[in-house]
Amino acid sequence: MSISNYCLLCHALSINVQYFERTSESLSLICRILLNRHFPDQTFQDIDKLAICLYDIIEQSVEKSMLHMMNGRGKAQTLRNKGNGTGNEKRKRLTQKAIVDTASELFARDGFGATSLDDIAAVLGATKGALYYHVYNKEEILRLIFLTVLTASEEPLQHIAEADLAPLEKLRSAVEHQAAVAADRSPAMIVFYREHPHLTGPFAKEIILRKKAYERYFAQIIEEGQMTGVFKLHVDPKIVSYGLLGMCNWMSEWYRPDGQFTHQQISTMFANMIVNGLSL
């Protein structure tokens, strides 16, 4: 594909896509259809990569158009407010974080599918249109919830993996950390474990890549233990990591804070099973 043809296609897509519903799924579908139509000789992998790239370009183009339009509306609203000397205080405090926090509570309580942007706006005391200053659509809010959870979970795990500790201590600390994450009953964490099927297209791929990077820290700790002669060599670090994460993450389904054991006691049981199974 020549650079000139690529640029022309990007320009055509950025103009025409504004007439379609602005969801990640529809944009991805439009990209793939047009790429296949104009470049039938490209492989599926090439088309997939280009579609993701074009999706990002289109989203930026549409975002600029939307912001320009909304800024125009915002100026008109400011003039009206100055004229009557009143303003909606809740709307002044509307932020992306406030939207994400409110949506987390509603998604956790009612489910992603049963919650609309109107519902979120109503709780915030805003209009649905005001939300578009901060987010593209409802799926974008879900993406932000997932990224918030992954960032908060990943930073402590990274510190454990890179700490100057023995592999056994790192593994115990990592298991304790993951058990605490899974036992967290906050709205955002409930959404994280329950609503992932609603992420589609590039959003879903982005979260999958972040999860893989997260899983890699556990495999890294096990590999370090194997290289230092602490853990058995015949086990695959990736498979052990999957088992460890599955065991801890399932706590999100059955763990109750008022149950017989605390999450710290449970994580100790889990860590003992893993360490005893891996140790020479």
Return the pLDDT at 112. Answer: 96
Average pLDDT (55-76) is 52
Residues facing residue 77 across a β-bridge: none
Residue range 208-263, pLDDT digits in tens = 999 999 999 999 999 999 999 999 999 999 999 999 999 999 999 899 999 999 99
Q: State how far the Cα of 95 lies from the Cα of 104, in Å rounded to an integer.
A: 14
CA distance 148 to 154: 10
> Model confidence at 275, in pLDDT bands (50, 70, 90)?
confident
| Sequence-distant (≥ 6) Cβ neighbours of residue 207 within 8 angstroms | 143, 146, 147, 150, 196, 199
Mean pLDDT taken over the chain: 79
138-278: CATH homologous superfamily? Tetracycline Repressor, domain 2 (1.10.357.10)
| Domain ranges (residues) in the chain | 1-86, 88-135, 138-278
And the tokens for 117?
Answer: 């942007």
What is the Cα gyration radius of the chain?
24
CA distances from 178 to 150, 156, 226, 280 (A): 12, 10, 21, 24
Q: What is the mean pLDDT of residues 260-279?
A: 91
Range 88-135 classified under CATH 3.20.20.80: no
The predicted-structure confidence for 146-179, as pLDDT tens digits, reads as follows: 999 999 999 999 999 999 999 999 999 999 999 9
The pLDDT assigned to 277 comes to: 87
Other beta carbons within 10 Å of 52: 16
pLDDT at residue 279, as a whole number: 82
Q: How far is CA 6 from CA 12, 25, 38, 55, 148, in A?
A: 10, 22, 10, 13, 34
Out of 34-38, 124-128, 210-214, least confident range: 34-38
pTM for the complete prediction? Answer: 0.64
